[in-house]
């Protein structure tokens, strides 16, 4: 018994030593991680003083965030931090910082934050659409599919060019018959028809009631993204549980999803697996291929959200750019005159413009690029999020930090542009008057999340713009004041309302 007791004591002593050693190693490891982490966080970007609970959210003007970020960058530098309640946010300003993040460290900054405020629309961690999808297998699957499918249906090809040219003809006819006054709605309907036909396989007459309702609902849905309230609901999501709040605050977003769901249900009734005529047909074909029990992003619920993403993104940015284009032609008649001269010289007035003309029209091409640069179409882009701990320009940025890219500060970076705060098409012309693309021209963002519809947008902008200028001279009506050159912010930066007189050439 005594021998057994000694053996038990030895085992107990040995086990105690092991526990002590294990505890010591654990403490040492935790201490090492803490010291390393503390050193890393000492290099976290600076920022304004944070208030308890609120953070720095009251210091941000959500109606003109890019202007607010420009001011903060003057005090804290091109990489600075904010605190939205308990969410860490880092804002990137200027070409070098944005390029280093989105291009040089593309994967580190490729994620998206989760947006609780979209849950009532059907978004969840297994059904994220395309644009705000988290970085991972589902996003790769949808991005790859969208790019290949849109290419199959003509993006970057002659077939789509002909379709856009035809739509440009309808737009010019509408301008002519209506004296050009409802310019915004006419442009939006023309651009909407292009993406609608790619997504759903049909186009509408501009006076079609169903089409007018669709365009209006999506336009109002974009406005619901503006201001402090959407950000508050995203950061304090339990407020969305209050009965009636989502229905009141996001009524048009809910209506847009319901409308697309209605369109898709009708589309399914005529769908044929042997006749794939649009994006929706191709997506439904992938849904049919999916084997039971296999986890995939190709579901009917996700199709609805992807379709909303495509239609919203494919309409709003090009519409906004073309509205700025008309405004700048009003405000800069000497630029409009030079564009007219180049159109007359290269295209004439007896045929429609085509994409081959672009190479022979350096001034017009420069004007279109300057409209995109100076107009600040998407001034801050959609938020990114760090996929892992990373460093940027000497600063430590931890995983899951929300990243805001101030694209406006890139397009007006004083170290890259000769006259950043003026409308100056010569930014894109060399000494011989030939077009030259500038590296700080990033209206479509950059890296893995750059706009997948860039080719479509470029084609639309050139063909719509040259078609309008081929047909019309735009002037401010005699009884109207000079239009304002600033704009309002709602995802895109849109010009304030103005009136035009479209005179046939």
Rounded Cα distance, 426 and 420, in Å? 11
Residue whose C-alpha is closest to residue 214's, from 204, 201, 224 = 204
Rounded Cα distance, 414 and 94, in Å? 9
Rounded Cα distance, 265 and 262, in Å? 5
Measured between alpha carbons, how far is residue 422 from residues 64, 331, 367, 373 in Å? Answer: 19, 12, 13, 10
- Backbone phi and psi for residue 274, each to the nearest 5 degrees, phi listed first: -95, -5
The 3-state DSSP class for residue 76 equals helix
Q: Is 127 labelled as part of a ligand binding site?
A: no
- Beta sheet of 384-385, edge-to-edge order: 79-84, 87-93, 402-406, 384-385
Q: What is the dihedral of CA 298, 106, 75, 85, to 10 degrees?
A: 30
Confirm if 427 and 419 have CB atoms less than 8 A apart: yes
User: To which H or E segment does residue 490 belong?
Assistant: strand 487-490
Rounded Cα distance, 315 and 318, in Å? 6
Confirm if 498 and 484 have CB atoms less than 8 A apart: yes
Q: What is the 3-state secondary structure (H, E, C) of 179-239?
A: CCCCHHHHHHHHHHHHHHHHHHCCCCCCCCHHHHHHHHHHHHHHHCCCCHHHHHHHHCHHH
Residue numbers in the known binding site are 451
Residue numbers in the known binding site for heme are 451
């Amino acid at each position: 018994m005594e021998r057994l007791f000694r053996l038990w004591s030895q085992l107990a002593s040995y086990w105690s030593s092991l526990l002590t050693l294990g505890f010591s190693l654990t403490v040492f490891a935790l201490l090492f991680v803490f010291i390393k982490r503390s050193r890393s966080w000492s290099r976290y970007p600076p920022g304004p003083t944070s208030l308890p609970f609120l953070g720095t959210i009251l210091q941000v003007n959500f109606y003109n965030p890019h202007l607010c970020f420009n001011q903060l960058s003057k005090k804290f530098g091109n990489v600075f931090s904010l605190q939205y309640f308990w969410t860490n946010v880092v804002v990137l300003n200027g070409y070098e910082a944005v390029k280093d993040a989105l291009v040089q460290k593309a994967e580190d900054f490729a994620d998206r934050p989760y947006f609780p405020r979209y849950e009532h629309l059907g978004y969840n961690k297994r059904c994220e659409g395309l644009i705000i999808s988290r970085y991972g297998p589902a996003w790769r699957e949808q991005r790859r599919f969208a790019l290949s499918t849109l290419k199959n249906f003509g993006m970057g090809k002659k077939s789509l060019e002909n379709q856009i040219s035809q739509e440009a003809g309808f737009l010019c006819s509408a301008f002519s018959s209506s004296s050009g006054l409802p310019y915004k709605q006419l442009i939006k309907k023309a651009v909407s028809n292009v993406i609608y036909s790619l997504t759903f396989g049909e186009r509408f007459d501009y006076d079609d009631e169903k089409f007018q309702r669709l365009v209006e609902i999506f336009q109002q849905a974009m406005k619901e993204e503006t201001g402090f309230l959407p950000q508050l609901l995203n950061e304090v999501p339990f407020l969305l549980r209050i009965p009636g709040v989502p229905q009141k605050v996001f009524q048009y977003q809910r209506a847009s999803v319901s409308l697309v769901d209605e369109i898709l249900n009708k589309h399914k009734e005529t769908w044929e697996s042997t006749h794939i005529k649009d994006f929706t047909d191709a997506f439904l074909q992938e849904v049919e291929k999916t084997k039971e029990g296999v986890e995939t992003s190709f579901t009917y619920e996700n199709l609805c959200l992807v379709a909303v993403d495509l239609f919203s993104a494919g309409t709003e940015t090009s519409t906004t750019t073309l509205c700025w284009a008309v405004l700048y032609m009003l405000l800069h008649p000497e630029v409009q005159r030079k564009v007219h001269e180049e159109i007359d010289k290269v295209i004439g007035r007896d045929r429609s413009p085509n994409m081959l003309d672009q190479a022979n029209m350096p001034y017009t091409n420069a004007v279109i690029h300057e409209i995109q640069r100076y107009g600040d179409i998407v001034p801050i882009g959609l938020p990114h999020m760090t996929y892992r701990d990373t460093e940027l320009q000497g600063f430590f940025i931890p995983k899951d930090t929300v990243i805001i890219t101030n694209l406006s500060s890139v397009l007006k970076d004083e170290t890259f542009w000769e006259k950043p705060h003026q409308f100056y098409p010569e930014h894109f012309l060399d000494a011989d008057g030939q077009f030259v693309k500038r590296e700080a021209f990033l209206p479509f963002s950059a890296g893995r999340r750059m706009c997948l519809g860039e080719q479509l947008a470029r084609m639309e902008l050139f063909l719509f713009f040259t078609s309008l200028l081929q047909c019309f001279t735009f002037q401010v009506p005699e009884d109207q004041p000079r239009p304002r050159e600033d704009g309002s912010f709602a995802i895109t930066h849109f010009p304030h309302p103005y009136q035009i007189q479209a005179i046939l050439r």
